[in-house]
Every structure is written in structure tokens, then in C-alpha cells.
Structure 1
Amino acid sequence: MSGGPTLPQQRRIVTEIPGPGSRARLERKRTHVADGVGTVLPVFVVEAGGGVLVDVDGNALIDLGSGIAVTTVGNAAPAVVERVVAQAASFTHTCFMVTPYDGYVDVCAELAGLTPGDHPKKSALFNSGAEAVENAVKVARVATGRDAVAVFDHAYHGRTNLTMAMTAKNMPYKNGFGPFAGEVYRAPMSYPFRDALSGPDAAARAIDVLEKQVGAGNLACVVIEPVQGEGGFVVPAEGFLPAVSRWCTDNGVLLVADEIQTGFCRTGDWFACDHEGVVPDLVTTAKGMAGGLPLAAVTGRAELMDAVHAGGLGGTYGGNPVACAAALGAIEEMRSHDLVGRARAVGERLGARLRAIAEEHDVVADVRGRGAMMAVELCRPGTTEPDAARTAAVAAHCHAQGVVTLTCGTWGNVIRFLPPLAITDELLDEGLAVVAEAFAATA
């Protein structure tokens, strides 16, 4: 399954990281690319597949980030490559709003069957997760006739004006970019490590805020990541999501599940909502759905999606035929290789190793996640005070040793692990051994 099937699945360090070739290209990047576009690890990749990224200097890095949860099936999975090549040879664009094509409809049909719930569903396709979230809000406002939108502490929903308002973290996502869209309200999230509340109690706290500060009758939708992503891989306590979902149903508020980072097998279910049987009214997807090509979707109850007037949803590139072909290939890979089961197996391996690291290093205050979406939160020993400096040091050591890791969290003190599900057990173990070494080296 690891595209580029001849690419050796092993870590190889032949220069310092970044090497001379990457450093030269970094100078060119500084000349031509806006400084606001940053990079986590400035190595220039020339080949990738399975769990490996190969840079211009010949270094082979272990990928524990999947391009932020995008390359779930690998960077060049065969079914994705074959379908993309065939589609590109036929046509690359017509604009679905001008002349439609089967690929768009095929993706929507797959989404109807895969997303939670067995009710009639329809979808609209877009380019990015932020576009999907923004359009879900549009659908919710038209369908309910209400304006207000509720989101949660630590949420991340995108970088457009509306989704910046919905995102919690100021730096780097919001700082200096206001004023933001109005009628967005924030409720407290269930964060078991920090609030020690049961799911139902955390839900009652959030609902109390919404009822008192917004009013259920004013809310078009509640938008929530079933497992938060950029906010720190926060997994709400059991019972939190079902309680919020029931309250939404009882009050005519639409529940929008932002499954952009959690969807398509990542958490050990097709969607993270499946874990507790929560059936949202609308689901937003992107990232892992198209094997690395830009594609996003809003999928929802048919009557809600149809509430929007003709022409009210769309975009020139939304549902591009090559991206749709990639998505159909990625879904084929997910099914044929049982990536739901693979995500659970990866999660067991990840969790065991991360808990072992936590036993040895008391800076690790919490190990959490689900499936192949795991994280450790670092705090000063014996406290809940975030330790962002140690977090950055651990990540930097991993990078220097050829392992791609990502940080996240409201306080920048979480290391997240999102390996491609195409990664081998041996490569995953080697990557985690380097992570363990990084904790020891930075103690």
C-alpha cells in the first residue's frame, strides 16, 4: 500500500538535518515565499511513501505527522495514483457548476454511506477544511433561520475570517487579523486532564454557558471536533458528546461535527463520532479523505442541505475531478487494507510506548488520544503548568535525528502523533525509539 512501493521503509541519515541541499533551497524560499508561510522542519522532500519522507540530500525521515493527518493511506498509495493519472489524462477541470461529472457524485455517494447515521444525506464539495466549516455554518443558518454559532475552548476550525473567529488560539492563527465575524460564542470543552469532570458534568457546564449567554433559541449550530486537533488532541470524557447532541436535538440546534482531522479511519473508526454512536446533523471532512489532494465536504441530512437556494453553495474548484478521483482511490485503500483496524493497532502500539515514556519522564503529564491520533502533554513535574520549552526541545531533537513530529495545544506543550496508516510496525517502533531518546536527551 505504501506508494512508491520500491521506496525503502527505513530511516537514513546522510547529512545533518537540514542538509546543504535543503539549506540552499531554504534561501530560495526566503526570497520568493512570504515569511508568513512557516515550516516545521525545513527539509525539501523529493520522494515519499509508506512512512518515509526522502529529502533532497538523500536523508530518509520517519513520518509521524502525515502532513497533519492528510496522508493517511500514504503519500502515493497505488489506488490513489492510478485513479489520479487516469482522471488527469481525461480532463482536469470543467467546474461542476458548469458541466457536472460522475466523480463528484461518486464521492458524495460514498460520503452518504460512510458518515454517521442511516438517514438520507447529501453533500457539497469544497477545497479546504476551513471552506467546509464555513459552508456548514451557512447551511445551518439558512436551515434554522438563526444566526448564532457555538464553538468550544481550544477549538481549531480554520484560517478564513469566520473560521478564525471560531478558532480559539490567538497566535499564530488570529493575531492581528481582526476584526472577526460576529455571532460566534465559546463554551468550555471537556478536558479530562485539566477539569477532572465526567462527560455529563462537563456537558452540563457547557450547556449552562450556552443557555445563559446565548440562548438556545438563537443558536443555529454547535460546531465541535469530536477529538480536538490543533487544540491539543483533547479527547472529551465519555458521555460529553452524546449529552451535547441530545441538548441540540431537544432545542432545534444543529450539531456540526468537524471531522476534518479525525475522519477517515484516523481514530480507529471511520469517523470519531462513531465511537459513542453520536449522529451529527452535518459533518465536515477534508485532510485524509483524498490521499493528499485538496478536497473537502459538508455532508448532512438531505433536508438541511437542500434548504440552501440553488447557487448558494459551490466554488470554481470545489470537487475538482482529479481530487475526487484521489478520494475514491483513498477510500478504496481504506477498505481493502482495513485501515480502521490498522488505526486501532497503531494506536495500541503508540499508546503503549508513550505510556512507557511517561513512566520514565515525569514531564509527561498526560497520554491521550484514540487510534492513530495520540499525544502527550508536557507539564512541569508535579503540576499542570505547561512546559512549552521542553516540548519544543523534544521535537527539535526528533527532527535532528530524522523523525518528523508535530507539536500543538493551546499552550504549545503537546506533541502529537499522526503516523500514516501505511507505516510498518518496524518503522513506527524505530520512530518512537527516537522519541524516547529525545526525552532522555533533553532531560
Structure 2
Amino acid sequence: MDAVEIRTIAKVTRRIVPFLIVCYFVAYLDRVNVGFAALSMNQDLGLSQTAFGLGAGIFFIAYFIFEVPSNLLLERFGARKWIARIMLSWGILSGTMAFIPAIAHTTGLGNENTFYLLRVLLGAAEAGFFPGIIFYLTLWFPAQYRARIVGYFMAAIPLSTVIGAPISGVLLYLHGGLGLAGWQWLFIIEAVPAIILAGMVFFYLTDWPAEAAWLAPDERTWLASRLELEQRQRQTARDFSVRQSLVNPRVLGLSLVYFGAVATNYGLSFFLPQIVKAFGLNTLLTTLVSATPYAVGLIGMVWWGRRSDRVVERRFHVAFPLFIAAAGIAVSTALDNPTLKMISLCVAGFGIFANLPVFWALPTAFLSGAAAAAGIAVINSIGNLAGFAGPFAMGWTKDHTGSYAGGLLLLAALGIIAMGVVLMLGQDDVAEHTAPAE
């Protein structure tokens, strides 16, 4: 590795990654804070566990429908403009969740249907953000750096809970201000950063390395030539059109893998605060204890992604964490002791999050350009349908059996299936061996 490579990667990382972490932190918090709001919102709105699970998950139906078109528009118009649009619209809609009772009264839809409607609109607004960022990172980082870089970026997922959980817990105590309940203030206050960041994205991000005035000429030249070389290698091996990428068997296989990974994540995320609340803890302690699996996941995500880059291996580094996630979730159903149950869920937290950054190095190893934008969006949109199925199954199971055990075992089974699929797919490393990462 020569000096210009070290200097360029370091500069691009410092410039882009921390800012994107903040953006995704806010995005993910706005997506899952409904799980913390549920601690008091469900009773205020009269929502059953099945209704809450359906509303929490229906977000992903709209997300699925609009994901591919959104990512193709990002590739066409540039990340700066499109990501700013996404953040502004989802910030406004996330804040609107606070006014479900008023909207339900005005429209006559009722609390339950209004909850569903706003979650659908929020899913449509946020569609394209995550796959857009993954695609954006392929424009700035060579293949051998991507697992660690995606790991840094996706660390915002567990970080949003580690930091956001206690904040959400405190906000739930803001009863009575302007006649609003604590859960309403939670939605309003946590929506504001997205609206502010929308303006910052527009002025801060740079769409292409060639436009980066903040890089020295030799740094721009090195980065452009390295990325162009990798793109030529991918296209020489297999040059996919957008249409081909949408139906490519490997893309569809990776979609199934991601479905299982997402199921373990969201199925647990939306209901973990309520599982912990059943231990007999108050609201603040519930949010703090709920954050512990995410703290473990945060460490695992960064360390595992770096390890995958160091040994230049992807398949095992996706499959093993999926097994750990499934095992931790399954074992938790057999444990009644709160401490042992949380230890088991912390083990699951490692697996749930450690597989994610490595997983996203798989599609970017054989897709490029518009085909990459489309393929990444397909994988993310199909995978995120599990964000609907997982929470709905958890809520339905709780209402019909009185226990979360059946839903948790289903999540574990999906994790095992995902592990099996990724092992069968094998490893595609067209651009992985261009140069050593370290």
C-alpha cells in the first residue's frame, strides 16, 4: 500500500463516514422509536399487540414498493439532492406520528387506521435511503475497504438504540406539555434532527470523487483510477444491465439471506422494550436494559467487519453471526430468569449486527453502476419485507398465546435458513483481490 492510498482513504473516511453515521443514526431512530413509544402509546391509542405489530411492520411494505425506483433516481440525480429529499420528507412524517389522535378525530379514520397510514407514508418517504448510501459508498471506497466502512456506517443501528433508548425513556416522561403525552413528544423531538440534516446533506456531500475539491489532485487521480479498474474487472467478468440485476439468481439469493437477517433484527427490536418491561422494571430502566444487546452488537459490527476485510473472506463472516443470532434468540425462549434471558439476547445482539456490514460487501463485489443501484435496492427491499413479517408474527403470537416464545423461535428459524442460503451461494470476489487492504 503506497502513501497516496493511505492518505486518500483516510481523508475520504474522515470526510464522509462520520457524517453518514449521524444521518443513519437519525434515520434508524425515527424508524424504530415506535417500539419505545409503544410502552405508553398502545394503551393511549387502544392498539392490540397484533395491531401494533402490523403497524410497525407495514412501514416495510411501502419501503419495498418504492425502494428500487428511489435508488435509480438517486443514481440519476446524485446522492446529495436525493438523500436530502428523503431526509426532509421522513422527518416531517415522523413528527406527524405525534398527532395520530388529532388526525384520527379530524378524518374519522380512527387511531388504528391512522397509525397504519402514517407508517405506510413514512416507509415510502424513507425508501431508498439505506441502499442509496450503500451505493454511494461504492463510489468512494474500493472493494477491499467496504466491509469495515459499511461496518462503521451501520454501527449507527445499534448506536441509535444504545444512545436513543435512554433518551426515548426520558422523553416518555414529558407528560402534559402543551397537552401532549410523552410518546407524542418523543416523535416530535426525535424528528427535528432529520429535518435539520436534510439541509446539511445538500451542502456537505459530494456526488463523485472527480468533484471533490477537498482531495488533492494526486488523491483524486488515484481514487478514480482504482475505482475505474475495479469496475472494468466486474464488467469483464459479467456486465449486468439494470433489468438483469433485478432478476439475477445471486441477487435473489442474497435477498433471501437479508430477509432472514432483517427478521432477527426488527422482529426483536420492535418488541424488546415490551419483553424487558415484563421483568417488572420502570420505563427508564426498561429502555436502558433494552439497549444492552445493541451495545454488544455495536462492538461486534465494527470488529467483525474489520476482521472480514483483513482475512478477505465474506461467506463465513456472514453465516457464523447468523447462527449466533438464531441460537441466542432461541435459547432466550427457554430462560425465565431475566438476567440469563438478557445475556442470551446480548449474544444474539452480536450475531444480529455483526453479519450486516460483511453482507453488503457481497453484492458490491459483482455489481457496478446502475446495476449496482438496482441490485442493492432489490436486495434491501425484499429483505426488509421481513421488517413487516417479523413484527406482525411477534404481535400475533403474543395476542394468541400470551407469550413471545413462538414469535422468537420463528425469528431464530429464519436466521438459520439465511445461514444455509449464504453457505450455498458461495463467495463472489471479483473485485476483492485488486490490492491488499492493509
Q: TM-score, normalised by structure 1?
A: 0.27
Higher relative contact order (CA 8 A, sep 6+): 2
Q: TM-score, normalised by structure 2?
A: 0.27
Larger strand proportion of the pair: 1
Larger helix proportion of the pair: 2
